[in-house]
Amino acid sequence: MVGIGAFHASGKFGKVVPVRLRPGTDVMGGILQVCEAEGIRHGAVLAGIGSLRQLSYQVLTPKADTKLGAGYTEPEVVPGPVEIVGLQGVLFQSEAGERLLHLHGTFSDQHGKVYAGHVVAGANLVLATLDGLVAEVVDVRLTRRMEVEAGLALFTPERLG
């Protein structure tokens, strides 16, 4: 940890992969499959736009029983069609080496009402398309590690070597 409270490590972009997910593909599962096929273990979802059959997402809410006093809600569902206004996220590994994706987004329903939050894995199927950009980050290790102060496993960038 450096200074008052930042974990950081300097790396650089490796390959940048344009992605189009087809109808019926789960957003998180599809992006993870593309990353596996491309050999990307550490990286970022730089952008994503498209549409969903329905939206399943979570937001932070006060939770007195947690160390931070906050936690995610149960998944909320918005019936489709739903427009993906923007997606962004980070790709990293668990301490056991499992490929993980933490994805957030902004969405709008058929009436233009906007929703935003944490994208739920396995519950967001593409309606027409998801067009996105995934970038590999090299020369660093991005790992989800337990942070005792927060009581959570959190994204931790580390220098290699």
Domain boundaries, the chain: 15-159
Region 15-159: CATH code: 3.30.1330.80
pLDDT tens-place string over residues 134-150? 999 999 999 888 887 77
Query: What's the chain's length in residues?
Result: 161
pLDDT tens-place string over residues 74-116? 999 999 999 999 999 999 999 999 999 999 999 999 999 999 9
Report pLDDT for 85.
98
Burial class (CB in 10 A: 0-12, 13-18, 19+), 136: buried
CA distance 7 to 72: 23
Q: For residues 41, 43, 49 and 55, what is the CA-based torsion angle, rounded to 10 degrees?
A: 60
What rounded mean pLDDT belongs to the chain? Answer: 93
Q: What is the pTM of this model?
A: 0.91
What does the pLDDT average to over 45-65?
95
Report pLDDT for 2.
46
Name the 3-class secondary structure at 56.
strand
pLDDT surpassing 70 at residue 4 = no
